[in-house]
Amino acid sequence: MKTTISVFLLFLLMNCMGQTNKDFRKEQLKYKRVKTAYYEKIDTIKKDLNEIGIAPNQLKILLIAFKEEGMLELWVKNTQSNAFIKYKTYEICSSSGLPGPKRQAGDGQVPEGFYVINRFNPVSQFYLSLGIDYPNRSDIILSNADHPGGDIFIHGSCVTIGCIPITDDKIKELYVYAVEAKSNGQYHIPVYIFPAKPGSLNFTNLMEEHANSPQLLSFWVNLKEGYDKFMETKSMLSIIVNEDGRCRFE
């Protein structure tokens, strides 16, 4: 009897989750800018995904940003696949701050670390925007605990103070990808942000330029560990944050 009840409750939960996913897309489409984005982009998105063997109704996504190179990569996979594949690269059209993580409100820095999308803003000041969950646990440990800052987005337009702008046209496309992924049941859309592409000449140069900042170098080496782990598996990272703010990758 207990087994029967458990199975029934699981069925109800799965059914409610599926309904919630569909409702998310439906709610987003009530907004004019999201409607416009779907009207302009969805047919091409579905066509392009089908061409690489990704079923639109199985889409999951992951984002990787490289500050020094000014690039935002979109990685995709089917639900049943463990490995993401690199699919598109968007130009980050403006930047602020210096190499290094964000540590306090008003510093103008773009964060560095391992994040997820935690907000969809269909009425953004910058057309459409996807919120990043800065400060994460590591940031809280390592940053100004009283005033770490917040409200970091990937958004449209081409101006920024600590965010990642990719123009109105490109945010329309990326926003649709993100809505579709969430509607397909992806509750955590990763966003990994690096000062430069780990292993590249740009990354090596940054390490050399900041040789007198051991704390920063240690932070970047830790980020590279996560990047190397992702490139080895092409799977979403499983991250544990130690008490010292360093990340451990399972």
Q: How far apart are CA 149 and CA 191, in angstroms?
A: 18
- Type and span of the H or E element at 208: helix 201-209
Q: Tell me whether residue 247 is one of the annotated catalytic residues.
A: no
C-beta of residue 109 within 8 angstroms of C-beta of residue 99: no
Measured N-to-C along each axis, helices 168-183 and 32-51 cross at an angle, to the nearest 10 degrees, of 70
Six-digit token pair at 25?
A: 């897309």
Beta bridge partner(s), residue 132: 117, 152
Q: Tell me whether residue 155 is one of the annotated catalytic residues.
A: yes
The DSSP output letter for 110 is P
Catalytic residue among 16, 93, 147, 155: 155
The DSSP output letter for 183 is H
Catalytic residue among 147, 163, 188, 210: 163
**Strand order through the sheet with 164-165:** 85-91, 71-78, 59-66, 190-194, 113-124, 127-132, 152-155, 164-165
C-beta of residue 173 within 8 angstroms of C-beta of residue 41: yes
Active site residues: 155, 163
